[in-house]
Amino acid sequence: MSGSNVWSRSREKIRIFPELFAQCTTEAAAYGKCVAATTTGRQELKKDLCSKEFEALKTCFTNAAKRRGK
List the domain range (segments joined by +) for residue 59. 3-69
What would the pLDDT profile of 10-66 be if each residue is shown by its tens digit? 888 788 889 888 999 999 999 999 999 998 888 888 889 999 999 999 999 999 988
- pLDDT score of 55: 97
Q: DSSP per residue over 8-35, as a string?
A: HHHHHHHHHHHHHHHTTHHHHHHHHHHH
Asked if residue 1 has pLDDT above 80, the reply is no
One-letter amino acid identity for 24?
C
What total number of domains does the chain contain? Answer: 1
